[in-house]
Amino acid sequence: MAIHPIEYRYGTPEMRQVWTEDTRFSYIIAVEVALARAEAIHGLIPEAAAKEIEQCAPHAKLERAKEIEREINHDVMAIVRTISECCGESQRWIHYGATSNDILDTTTGIQLKDALSLIEEKLLDLLKILLDRANETKALACAGRTHGQIGTPTTYGLRFAIWASEIARHIQRIRELRPRIVVGQLTGAVGTQAAFGEKGIEVQKSMMKLLNLVPVDVSNQLIQRDRYAEYFMVCANIATTLDKIAIELRTLQRTEIGEVEESFGKMQVGSSTMPHKRNPVKSEQVSGLARIIRAFIEPALQNNTLWDERDLTNSSSERVLFPETSILLDHILSVMIHVITGLVIHKKNIRRNLELLNGINMAEAVMIELTKRGMNRQDAHERVRIASMTAYEVGKHLSETLNEDKVIMGYLSHEEIPSLLNSDHYLGTAIVQVENVIRKLAPLCS
C-alpha cells in the first residue's frame, strides 16, 4: 500500500525512476563491475576475473540482496555476497580494496548526473515558454505594484522576461554545479587508498573514466558533503524562483485583481461547497512543495559535519533527501511549465486596474516633466504629491487637481496633461529590455 505522496501524487515517471531501489541497485552493480575492470587494467586483479565479474554481476537480484541484508545488517556487503553467489572463482576479487562508500557515493554520482539532466531539460523548457510569453506581452502595459500598492506602469512582458532571466541563471548554476557533484571516489577505508598500493590514484581515474564521472581529488571514507549541500541549495533556489512566480500569479488571480488565471478545465471543480470557485491550485501546489525542498537545506549542511574520517549520521537522512528533493523539484518544474503555458491573460482587467487610480499612478511622469521644464525637482515632487493626495481623497482625476494648481500650469498646458497621464506613454525601455533578454537567452533553447 502506498504511503508517501511521491508514490501516487507527485513526481514524473522519469525522475522517480532515477531514485528507485532497482535503479540504484543496477548502478551499484555497474560500479562494482567498473571497479574490477579498472583493477584489472592496472594489474591488481586478473583480467579473467574482471571479465567474469562483468558477465556474472548483472545476474545479481535485489531481492536476494535484501534477504542477505536482513541477516547481516549491512547493505553493501549484502550486495557483494549476492554478486559472489552469481560468480565462480572470480568472487574472491569482488569489491577488492574498496569500502562501502566508494561504491555508494559513486553510485550517487551517477544518479545525480541523471537527475541534473532531467532538471536542466525542464528548466530549458520553462525558459522557452517564458520567453515566448514575454515576446507575446512585451508591450502589454499593466499596473506596477510596490508594497502591494499600484505604482507606475510596467509590462507583462517585462515580468515574464525577469522570470526568464532568473531561470537562465539557474541553468547556468546547474551547469557550473555538475563537475562538482557528478563525482566518484575509490579511496578506501579512511581515504589513503592503502589497499591499492601505489596504483590507487590511477585505478580511481580508470574506474571513474569507465563510469563517465569525475574522480575526487582527495577524500576520506566518503565524498565530502559540501558538494551535495550545494546541490540541495541550488534545488532550493530553483524551487524558490518557482514559488515567487506562483505567488505573483496567485496574487494576480485574486478576484478583485483578476488579471491572469490558471487554465481551468470544463469539468474541473474548484470547491466542494462553492460551485463558482476557480482556484489557482497548481500555483498553490508549487508554493507548498517549495517549502519542503527548502527545508532540506539544514540537514544537507549538517551532513558535512561528520566525525573524523566519517560516521553514519548522513546515511539515513540522505536516503530521504536525495529522492524527495529531486522528485519534488522535477514535479513543480513540470507544474509551472503547465501553468505558464496555459495561463489566461485578461486584458480588460489589466486595463481596468491600470486606470483604477484616475491617473494618480502617473504622478511621477508629471514630476519628471515639470523638472525638465525648469521647476526645482523637490518643489515639483511636493506640488504633484499634494495634487495626488487631493485627487485621491476627493475622488477626482489627477488631471483635474493638476489643472487647479496655477504654479504647475505655468509649466504645462491643459492639452499636455492627458498625454502625460497616459500609461502607454510611460513604459521607458521596457519593450527594448524584453527584446534584449529574448535575443540573449533564446540561443539557450535551441
pLDDT (tens digit, 9 = 90+) per residue, 104-133?
999 999 999 999 999 999 999 999 999 999
| 271 catalytic per annotation | yes
The arithmetic mean of pLDDT across residues 244-261, rounded, is 96
Q: ∠ CA 235-289-323 to the nearest 5 degrees? A: 55
**CA 54 – CA 440 distance, rounded (Å):** 47
Of the listed 147, 272, 276, 413, which one is catalytic?
147
Q: Average pLDDT, whole number, for the chain?
A: 94
pLDDT surpassing 90 at residue 444: yes
Question: Cell numbers 489643472 label which residue?
Answer: 403
pTM for the whole thing?
0.94
Question: Cell numbers 573524523 label which residue?
Answer: 308
> What domains sit in the chain, N to C, each tagged with a CATH number?
13-96 (1.10.275.10), 98-140+150-258+278-345+426-446 (1.20.200.10), 360-420 (1.10.40.30)
pLDDT surpassing 80 at residue 265: no
Q: How far does Cα 150 stand from its chain's mean position?
A: 30
Of the listed 263, 271, 316, 419, which one is catalytic?
271
Identify the pLDDT of residue 275: 62
pLDDT surpassing 70 at residue 274: no
